[in-house]
Every structure is written in structure tokens, then in C-alpha cells.
Amino acid sequence: MTPKGGWVGKILRVDLTTSKITESSTFDYVPRFLGGRGLGAKICWDEVPPEVSAFDPENRLVFATGPLQGTLAPSSGRFMVLGKAPQSGPTESFCRSGVGGHFAPELKWAGYDALVVRGKADKPVYLFISDHKAEILDAAALWGLDTYQAQQVLWKLHGPKTRVMVIGRAGENRSRIACILTDTGDASGQGGFGGVMGSKNLKAIAVRGTGAVTVARPKALMQTTRHIHSLFARKPAKSNPYEPEVKGFKYNIWGGGYGRGGLSLLPGELQDLCNDSSSGYSQTPDGCFACPVSCRSRVKGPDITGGVAFCAQSYMYLESMIDQPEKGYSKITWQAAKLGDLLGINAYDLMAIIPWLADCFHEKLISEKDTGLSLGEIGSWNFISKLLNQIADRQGFGDLLAEGGQRAAAKLGGKAEKLSWMYYPRAGQFGGYREHWVYLGGFPTGYALPPLALMWVLDNRDALVSHSFISMLWGAAFTVGQNALTAVPEKISPVLRPVMKAAYGSEEAAEFLQPDGKSLNWKWAAPIVKRYHEHSLLKDSYVLCDILFPYLFNANSPNHVGDDTLESRLYSDVTGVEMSPKESFQKGEMLCTLERALAVRDGRTRQDDSFHDLYFEKQDAGGRKYKREDLEESKTEYYKLMGWDSETGKPTLATLQRLGLKDVAEEMARRGFSRS
Amino acid sequence: MAKEVDRRTMLKSLTISALGLGSVVAFGDLIQVFALPDGQKVALARAVILADMSRCSGCRICEMVCANLNSMGRNSTSLARVFIDKDYLKGDYQPKLCYQCADPPCLNGCPVDALQVDKKSGTYARVVNEKICIGCQSCVEACQSYFTPSRATFDAERQKAIKCHLCFGDPQCVKLCPLGVLRVERSKKGLLVGYPAISGD
């Protein structure tokens, strides 16, 4: 029976080689694969075999929304971009990247749950989608424009309500770290899918929809929405939009310690200007579609590029703060990040490339002359503007860096490559991503935590999609009067006990250390990471935002226990399809196994689930180490819990069949990957 | 009791309204009804939604709450009775709401009296009686000759006009707006807002 709400029923398929545009039914895939990440995984399993490389015209660029997009469901502005990713490396593999903002609901209202692009146009084109119709249009006039300029042209042509996903020059030139941007700062960064768009000669996807998404139980959705609003946000105080009207209430993101988003974390020139009402600069909380939190700010001023600011995207060039400490977060810091957005380069990889270049320069492995970069003045506008333009145009040394930091380092080899391991922790064939451990200062400057290590080795991109997991740790730190940088695991465990019992089934899961405090407790790593993956797959398939979901930690209640059933309640309200917690986790497990099958088919082995030696050699701030044998044991346990082969980490045929993935099982057997 | 608005009062309200929507005029016990030169009379609205656009986050929750609740689960900004106009590059977001005009063009333009004053809820909002509406869109045209976008719009699927009815006294967009942009201004005496005091956005 077709569900009563949620999905709009059609997938739009565009072949840029033949200019053929067709539609297929979403219900060929859902409710089984839900949407977003699950739907994209299945499409890629069916259509993107390992033989297809990222820039091969046969690669698919999948834009997948889920059942919740285009509805009132809180944080449902997101969707997933999927396909064979050029950034994952050295092996290109199936990967995913989430995007916020306002594009996803527009695609649904235009009548499509997803868009699948294949082929390659013989000249630059863009796609215009409106109310059950799509056209491939000439983009000669758009090619070479920055991401803002291109959107302005498209708004002029198709109206300001049109939402656009667009690449900059980095994407046009097939950089492996090119993003796809929408509006002023929301982007699909991970995976380098901007380069895939460029390889297809596809400059932009513009969409405008006036249809509607049917919600099966509108009153229930109102109720759940109000409940979620009340958990995460309050109306702001009259005097300050960043402070809650209700004194003492904590905005329930980042563990409740940082309030609504903005430049508030990094004081300096720009924030001072924004606080001075006569300056002409300002910052205001800015919301993604249907989100009550507003974890971003939009910043404007007379001589800066305006737009939204969020985390890495605005914190990309912190070197400028060291260069000009008296200015702190300055206009240069901001403009550098915005130049990255205009050229369409993923800020997160730049946050590895820049310090790595500094290390290499320091060790005299590269010179200003060889690179054409003013490496002696990292932190300056001169350095960053040259660097970003070089990368976007693949000019000189920039041609190498456009391949991403990890590939560039591997090409240079020797010591330069070794230096890069500080920033790119994952060893093997499925690395390519900058470390993003955040917890208590990261590792090794901060503290080692077994579940984080296991999450990282198992992924092929930034594993911390679940910001809410980190928020839980931070929240516990704030509760005991410490913060993200100062908290120590011993102190936060007591706070986490009831929280982790609710989320992971045992109070003991909060004990990250052995009782003597001298070594790490790996006992709970595997079960925690299994549930973490199930949560993540659900959240990315419904599709909801990882700043809010899963809701693990309540900063405003005495025991801080969260509620990981909220996502599934929204799903049931919208679609009318029941989803018990147990069923939802089984669904998450199935989707996680499907992704593992994709990875294995792309060549992943147990050896790829690992770190560079550095991560076993260094001690953390508490004098403890990750031990290789502990990690290996934990991997084995995780594979077992997932029903994968405990030696190889490959899903077994029996497990694939048990999960209803018969066609996957058959192909795995045919390719000789899985034993029964 | 009905009384005609004299020229001085009109001028005063025009001056005040020039300051923006924040300056709504609630009159003393004189006026509860706005009378037109031709003698037709419409009771003034007793509630209106006002917006402080400086803090709008552009999340569009107001539009979605409206559509979800008032269009029976059909979720879309196209079915909302509130409107967020956004210039993303300039960072300029403008919530636009129905003024519940003193002399409502929509009501005056309706050929079948489908537009009525909601006395039952006490808001005196200008509302569409769906049983009477013939879907001719005269109200949409009438409104858009003064306001952009027209605050009355058209539900093509049901072939009926739709417009803000203040959720019969308890506007849900106001309740769910996470930034406190929206508020309800109420006056038992009636509010002289919208056209003709304000005629244009």
C-alpha cells in the first residue's frame, strides 16, 4: 500500500549525454530504503559499480531528499548528495554529503523526491526543474562565474524563489575538494561532489516548486513539532536575539554551552563591528528551512561579502588570527572563508591543507619559489587569496592541491606525506578526510575515547556526522563546570551514566577508562558505535539534521536523558507508517550493512579500517594511548555485532539475506566478496 | 456604534502608519467600524499580526505551520497565508502578513460575499467562507493592486481562495515563530490598519 504522506512519488532522471529526461517511481525504493542516504545507497548499489570512477560520465550524482523534506518537521531542510566520490582516497568510493538550507523542500514541491544525474553534457549546461518538468539549458554565460554571481543570474531568469545548487571554478575544474553551494553558505562539501558536477559540465541545478507534500497526520505533526521546539529553543530576549527569553534555558545544541550560532565563539574585529549598531555591520540568527534553532548567523557589512556563517565554513582561516592577534577574528578571516564559498572549495579540507603547508614550509620541504605562494606570510590575505585562486584554477602548485590535501601529500611523498598524517588520521585506501575529533581538544592534544576511534576507522569520510554525539560529551562537560577543551573523561562519566543508559543500553557505556584510570576501556566501543551508526543512518535517511538528532543529551533537565525516538515519531506523523524504536534500529542496521557492502565492493578490507601509526604512538592529555590490539579486537566485535565476517569485515551472505538484501547478497557472491 | 471617520482622523492614521507596521492605531471608543464614502461599513479588525523583520531568521516555520494546519496537511509555502520574502544575498528577510485592512479590498472585491468578518472568534478578521467562495480570485486581484504578494491567494487543488484568518483568535505562526518575530496586536476597540492607512509594502 502506498503510504499516505511524505514522499511525492517521483524520481527525476537526467542523462546529460543523450539529453534524455525521464521519471521513475520513488516507491520502487521506499518505504524500504526511506530516502536520503538509504535511497542514495540503493541507487548507487544498483547503478554505480566499482568499475565506474568518480569523473566517469557513468557516475551518478544523486540528490536525495527523504520523506520529511518539504514539511513542517523541524530541521527538515536537509538532503543528501551521493555517488562515487572523488575525495575519498586513494580509492574513490561511494560517499555521502548532507546539505542544509532551503533547496530540499523546493525539490519536493516541484514534485521530486530525488534527482539522479548521469552522463556528461558536451558543453556547459544547467538544469532547471519546475513543477513536474525539467529542462537542460545552456550555461555558457554562467561558466566561470562565482557561486554568488551564477545564482544572481539564475534568480533573474527564473525568479528569486528559485533555489540553486551551484559550483564555482573549483568544481568546473574538477577539483576533488570542490563543494556544491546553495544560497550564501550551505554546501555539500564532503566527497568533492562539486568536481563530479564539473566533470559532467553541469554548472547548476535550479529548482522551483509550487506543489505540496502531503502529511498523513497533520495534527500529530504539529504536536511533535511543538514538543521538539520546546526541547531545543525558546523565543529570544527582546534585547538580544542570541539570548533566550526564559532565563537559564539552554539552546540544546553543542551540549547547551554555546547558545545559538554565530561569531560569538571567536571574538575580534568583525564581532566588534557587528555589535556596534552604528558601524553598518550586523549579525542575525539565520535558520535553515523549518529549523527552530538557528545555529548559523548571517553577517553583513559595507565592505565584506555577506552571507551565512557556520562553524568550519567561517572558521577556515584561523591562521589569520595568529597573524594579527590584535584583530582576532577579522575581516580577513571572514573574507577568506567567503572566497572559498565563491570559488566553491570545501573549507574543511583547507583546514588541513593550510597547516600542512605551513609544516612543510617549516621543514623546508616546499618553498615560496616552487609553489608561487607566500608561505612566509600564512595568515595574510595575500597568501590565502593566491592559494584559493590557484586551487580553483588548478594553476601551478594549485593543480596538485586541487586533488585534496591527502592526495597532494601522497604525491610529494616522504616526509611531506608523513606530516600530513597529523591531519588525515585514517590509513589504508579509504582516507582523504581531515581529522575532526573536537572532543576535549581532539587527539592527541586532548583525550582519547575508544568509540570515537572506532567510528573513525570504519568510515570513509568525516565520521562525526553525528554532531549530537559530541554535543552529549560537551553537555556533560558543561554540567560539571568544564568546557569542551578542559573536561576530562573521569569527570564527565558520572553525568553521562543515565544518558548513555538511555541511548546505548547501559550506564557502564559511560566509562571510557579502566577503573585505574591508566588505560582506555574498550568494552563498550563496539555496541556504542553500532547504535551510533543506526541513529546516523536513520537521521540521514529521514533526512534530519545532525546538530539536533539523535537527541541524546538534554541540557535543561536534571538527569540530562535525551530521546532517540523523536525522528521516528516525525516519520510516522508525516508518512502514516508506524515505526517502533526496535524496527527503526533494524532499518538503520540494514542500511549500514548496505553501505558496508558498497564499500567492500569498492575494495574495502579490514586493513582499511585503521589509523596511521602516529595515532598509536602519541599519548593523550591523560597519558593514555590507543593500542592497536584493542582497536583490532573492537573491530572484530563490531563486525560480529553487525553480522559481518569477523575476520574480514565483509557482510556475510546470511546477514544480507536476513536483512532482506537478496540482490546485494547475490552480487557479493558473484563478485566473490562474501562467504555464507 | 458606527461613526464615520473624519478627515482629520484619517490624516492622523496615515501619518502614523507611515512609520511602519509597528505603529498600529487603536482608537478610543469612537470607531469600531470603518465607513466608506459610499456609506458601506466594515467592522474594524480587533487583532492583527505584526512583524519585527529585523530578527527574522528566514526559517519559514510560520509558512509551514500555516499550511500544515490550515490546508489539511498539505505542506507547502504556496499554501501559506503568511509570506517570507527573502533576498538571500543581501540577507534581507521580510515577513509579510495580512493587515486585516480597515477597508479590505479583498472583501470589497468579492462578488459573492464569501469574504466575511469573523465576529464569532472576536478577532473580526477578514476570512473566506469556503462554502460561498466560487474561486473567481477577485479577492486576490483586489489585494494585489495594493500589496505584494497578495495576502489572499488561491488553492488551485480545491479551487478556493485562502487568506489569513488569525487561526480564529490564536495564530499558530506567532506561537511557533522561534525568533519572536511575530506578535498579535489586539484591541477591543478595533484597529485601524492596512488599506487605506497603508496601501503598499
Average pLDDT for A108-122: 98
Buried b or exposed e, range A513-551, using 16+ CB within 10 angstroms: beeeeebbbbbbbbbbbbbbbbbbbbbbbbbbbbbbbbb
Q: What is the predicted pLDDT for the residue at B16?
A: 38
Q: What is the predicted pLDDT for the residue at B201?
A: 81
Give the residue from B111, B125, B104, B105 showing the smallest Cα distance to B170.
Answer: B125
Contacts of residue A216, defined as CB under 8 A and 6 or more positions apart, other chains included, come to A3, A4, A5, A6, A573, A574, A575, A576, B73
Is B88–A183 a contact, with Cβ atoms under 8 angstroms apart?
yes
Cell numbers 520502487 label which residue? A28
Backbone angles phi, psi at B84, to 5 degrees: -110, 115
Cα(A67)–Cα(A76) distance, rounded to whole angstroms?
9
Cα(A328)–Cα(A332) distance, rounded to whole angstroms?
10
Chain A residues within 8 A of B91 when measuring between CB atoms? 184, 284, 286, 298-300, 306-307
DSSP category for residue A29: T
What is the SS3 assignment for B65-119? HHHHHHCCCEECHHHCCCEEEEECCCCEEEEECCCCCCCCHHHHHCCCCCEEEEC
Contacts of residue B80, defined as CB under 8 A and 6 or more positions apart, other chains included, come to B62, B63, B64, B66, B67
Per residue in A553-567, pLDDT (tens digit) is 999 999 999 999 999
Per residue in A453-486, pLDDT (tens digit) is 999 999 999 887 568 898 999 999 999 999 888 8
Give the residue from B179, B73, B53, B201 showing the smallest Cα distance to A216.
Answer: B73
Residue A328 at interface with chain B, using a CB cutoff of 8 Å: no
Q: What is the predicted pLDDT for the residue at B39?
A: 57
Backbone angles phi, psi at A63, to 5 degrees: -105, 110
Q: What is the predicted pLDDT for the residue at A83?
A: 98
Search chain B and give the residue with CA nearest A164. B88
Residue A425 at interface with chain B, using a CB cutoff of 8 Å: no
Search chain A and give the residue with CA nearest B174. A235
Selecting from A225, A238, A294 the residue whose C-beta is nearest the C-beta of B59 gives: A294
Cα separation values, A307 from A183, A274, A335, B6, B74, Å? 8, 13, 11, 48, 31
Residue A260 at interface with chain B, using a CB cutoff of 8 Å: no
Is B57–A212 a contact, with Cβ atoms under 8 angstroms apart?
no
Average pLDDT for A201-213: 98
Residue A21 at interface with chain B, using a CB cutoff of 8 Å: no
What's the half-sphere exposure (Cβ side, CA atoms, 13 Å) at A40? 32
Q: What is the predicted pLDDT for the residue at B12?
A: 39
Is A212–B78 a contact, with Cβ atoms under 8 angstroms apart?
yes
Per residue in A8-65, pLDDT (tens digit) is 999 999 999 999 999 999 999 999 999 999 999 999 999 999 999 999 999 999 999 9
Residue A210 at interface with chain B, using a CB cutoff of 8 Å: yes
Q: What is the predicted pLDDT for the residue at A264?
A: 75
Q: Is B39 helix (H, G, I), strand (E, B) or coil?
A: coil
Are A583 and A575 contacting, i.e. CB atoms less than 8 angstroms apart?
no
Name the pairing type of β-strands B153-155 and B33-35: unpaired
Q: How many CB atoms lie within 10 A of CB B189?
A: 15
The pLDDT-based confidence of A234 (bands split at 50, 70, 90) is: very high
| pLDDT for residue A212 is more than 70 | yes
Helices (H), A186-295: 193-199, 218-232, 269-275
Chain B residues within 8 A of A291 when measuring between CB atoms? 59, 61, 178
Chain B residues interacting with chain A (CB cutoff of 8 angstroms)? 54-61, 64-65, 67-69, 71-79, 86-91, 157, 172, 176-180
Cα(B45)–Cα(A653) distance, rounded to whole angstroms?
69
Residue from A78, A102, A222, A235 whose CB has the most chain B CBs within 10 Å, to mutate = A235
Residues within 8 A of B (CB atoms), A 358-397 only: none
Is A214–B67 a contact, with Cβ atoms under 8 angstroms apart?
no
Cα(A605)–Cα(A647) distance, rounded to whole angstroms?
10
Q: How many CB atoms lie within 10 A of CB A48?
A: 24
| pLDDT for residue A574 is more than 60 | yes
Cα(A600)–Cα(A50) distance, rounded to whole angstroms?
10
Is A294–B179 a contact, with Cβ atoms under 8 angstroms apart?
yes
Are A208 and A192 contacting, i.e. CB atoms less than 8 angstroms apart?
no
Is B91–A306 a contact, with Cβ atoms under 8 angstroms apart?
yes
Is A287–B74 a contact, with Cβ atoms under 8 angstroms apart?
no
Q: What is the predicted pLDDT for the residue at B18?
A: 37
The minimum CA-CA distance between A281 and chain B, rounded to whole Å, is 12
Give the residue from B108, B51, B98 showing the smallest Cα distance to B193.
Answer: B98
Selecting from A160, A245, A290 the residue whose C-beta is nearest the C-beta of B59 gives: A290
- Grid cell listed for A537: 543512518
Chain A residues within 8 A of B59 when measuring between CB atoms? 287-292, 294
Report whether the peptide linkage leading into residue B196 is cis, meaning its omega lies within 30 degrees of zero: yes
Cα(A6)–Cα(A278) distance, rounded to whole angstroms?
47
Chain A residues within 8 A of B55 when measuring between CB atoms? 236, 241, 284-285
Per residue in A356-370, pLDDT (tens digit) is 999 999 999 999 999
Chain A residues within 8 A of B176 when measuring between CB atoms? 225-226, 229, 292
Q: What is the Cα Rg of chain B in Å?
A: 16
Search chain B and give the residue with CA nearest A293. B178
The minimum CA-CA distance between A389 and chain B, rounded to whole Å, is 22
Handedness of CA A387, A391, A392, A394 (dihedral sign): positive
Report whether the peptide linkage leading into residue A451 is cis, meaning its omega lies within 30 degrees of zero: no
Chain A residues within 8 A of B178 when measuring between CB atoms? 229, 233, 235, 287, 291-294
The minimum CA-CA distance between A115 and chain B, rounded to whole Å, is 20
Average pLDDT for A576-602: 98
Selecting from B54, B57, B72 the residue whose C-beta is nearest the C-beta of A286 gives: B57
The minimum CA-CA distance between A160 and chain B, rounded to whole Å, is 8
Chain A residues within 8 A of B70 when measuring between CB atoms? none
Q: What is the predicted pLDDT for the residue at B37?
A: 54
Cα(A114)–Cα(A80) distance, rounded to whole angstroms?
9
Measured N-to-C along each axis, helices A405-412 and A347-362 cross at an angle, to the nearest 10 degrees, of 30
Search chain A and give the residue with CA nearest B180. A235
Are A455 and A433 contacting, i.e. CB atoms less than 8 angstroms apart?
no
The pLDDT-based confidence of A434 (bands split at 50, 70, 90) is: confident
Are B55 and B181 contacting, i.e. CB atoms less than 8 angstroms apart?
yes
Residue from B56, B88, B92 whose CB has the most chain A CBs within 10 Å, to mutate = B88
| pLDDT for residue A132 is more than 60 | yes
The minimum CA-CA distance between B197 and chain A, rounded to whole Å, is 28
Per residue in B119-142, pLDDT (tens digit) is 999 999 999 999 999 999 999 999
pLDDT < 50 regions, chain B: 1-31
- Grid cell listed for A459: 568510515
Search chain B and give the residue with CA nearest A308. B91
Measured N-to-C along each axis, helices A489-504 and A467-479 cross at an angle, to the nearest 10 degrees, of 130
Report whether the peptide linkage leading into residue A325 is cis, meaning its omega lies within 30 degrees of zero: no
| pLDDT for residue A329 is more than 80 | yes
Chain B residues within 8 A of A286 when measuring between CB atoms? 57-58, 91
Q: Is A409 helix (H, G, I), strand (E, B) or coil?
A: helix
- Give percent above pLDDT 70 in chain A: 99
Taking all residues of chain A, what is their mean pLDDT, rounded to a whole number?
95
Is A212–B68 a contact, with Cβ atoms under 8 angstroms apart?
no
Selecting from A217, A235, A286 the residue whose C-beta is nearest the C-beta of B58 gives: A286
Cα(B56)–Cα(A107) distance, rounded to whole angstroms?
24
Search chain B and give the residue with CA nearest A237. B180
Cα(A635)–Cα(A629) distance, rounded to whole angstroms?
10
Q: What is the predicted pLDDT for the residue at A15?
A: 98
Is A226–B67 a contact, with Cβ atoms under 8 angstroms apart?
no
Q: What is the predicted pLDDT for the residue at A465?
A: 58
Give the residue from A562, A452, A566, A582 showing the smallest Cα distance to A496.
Answer: A562
Are A135 and A310 contacting, i.e. CB atoms less than 8 angstroms apart?
no
Per residue in A136-193, pLDDT (tens digit) is 999 999 999 999 999 999 999 999 999 999 999 999 999 999 999 999 999 999 999 9
Residue from B54, B55, B57 whose CB has the most chain A CBs within 10 Å, to mutate = B57
Average pLDDT for A507-523: 96
The minimum CA-CA distance between B201 and chain A, rounded to whole Å, is 17
Are A652 and A593 contacting, i.e. CB atoms less than 8 angstroms apart?
no
Q: What is the predicted pLDDT for the residue at A438?
A: 67
| pLDDT for residue A104 is more than 70 | yes
Taking all residues of chain B, what is their mean pLDDT, rounded to a whole number?
85
Search chain A and give the residue with CA nearest B74. A214
Report whether the peptide linkage leading into residue A425 is cis, meaning its omega lies within 30 degrees of zero: no
Chain B residues within 8 A of A217 when measuring between CB atoms? 73
Are A206 and A164 contacting, i.e. CB atoms less than 8 angstroms apart?
yes
Q: What is the predicted pLDDT for the residue at B173?
A: 98
Residue from A72, A238, A277, A281 whose CB has the most chain B CBs within 10 Å, to mutate = A72
Cα(A366)–Cα(A353) distance, rounded to whole angstroms?
13
Cα(B151)–Cα(B201) distance, rounded to whole angstroms?
11
Chain B residues within 8 A of A214 when measuring between CB atoms? 73-75
Per residue in B186-196, pLDDT (tens digit) is 999 999 999 99
Residue A233 at interface with chain B, using a CB cutoff of 8 Å: yes
Is A294–B91 a contact, with Cβ atoms under 8 angstroms apart?
no
Chain B residues within 8 A of A241 when measuring between CB atoms? 55, 179
Cα(A201)–Cα(A17) distance, rounded to whole angstroms?
10
